[in-house]
Amino acid sequence: MNRHTSRRALMTAAGALALGSLVVLAPAKAKQPKTPRVIKVLAKKFEFVPGEIHVKQGETVTLQFTAPEVPMGFNLPEFKLRTDIVPGKVATLQLTADKTGSFTFLCDVFCGTGHEDMSGTLVVS
């Protein structure tokens, strides 16, 4: 075997190994859980946008919050989920909708004159 032949054989072997790897990886990829749907929520004076969040029962979603003006809070008492939302940072919560119905969420960080009106609804159907 000359030098070129050896190199070709090595590359072929490496390719086979890579292909083998792909074959092995492909089924594993299919079993991975689906990436949770991301729902972006804006917390601004003095409302959440969107004010209604719709999810399916059993669905897991990632809630991503931003507050462009002042510190806010997000509190979903029935799911015992809350986070501070600080301007300049993205706050994240993972929600698994394990029950159906309409659930109130609210800002629980006093943010100004309209604070007490700052709430929304999670609808799980």
Partner 1 sequence: MSAFDRRLFLQLAGVGGAVFVSGLSGAARAADAMSPAGYDDFFFVQLSDSHWGFEGAPNPDARGTLPKAVAAVNALAQAPDFVIFTGDLTHTTDDPRERRKRMGEFRDLVAELKVKTVRFIPGEHDAALDDGRAFKEFFGATNYTFEHKGVHFIVLDNVSDPGAQLGVAQLDWLAADLKKQPKDARIVVFAHRPLFDLYPQWDWATRDGAKAVDLLMPYANVTVFYGHIHQEHHQMTGHIAHHSAKSLIFPLPVAGSQPKRTPLAWDPAQPYRGLGFREVEAEPKTAEYAITELPVQTG
Q: State in angstroms the smallest separation of the CB of 109 from partner 1.
A: 5
Q: Which of residues 93-112 bind partner 1 (CB under 8 A)?
A: 104, 106, 108-112
DSSP string, 38-95: EEEEEEETTEEESSEEEE-TT-EEEEEEE-SSS-EEEEEGGGTEEEEE-TTS-EEEEE
Of 55 and 115, nearer to partner 1 (C-beta) is 115
CB 46 within 8 A of CB 114: yes
Among 66, 75, 83, 96, binds partner 1 (CB under 8 A): 75
Q: Which amino acid is at 3?
A: R
Q: State in angstroms the smallest separation of the CB of 113 from partner 1.
A: 6
For the beta carbon of residue 72, count every other beta carbon within 10 angstroms.
Answer: 29
Q: State in angstroms the smallest separation of the CB of 73 from partner 1.
A: 6
- Which positions touch partner 1 (CB under 8 A)? 71, 73, 75, 77-78, 84, 104, 106, 108-113, 115-117, 119
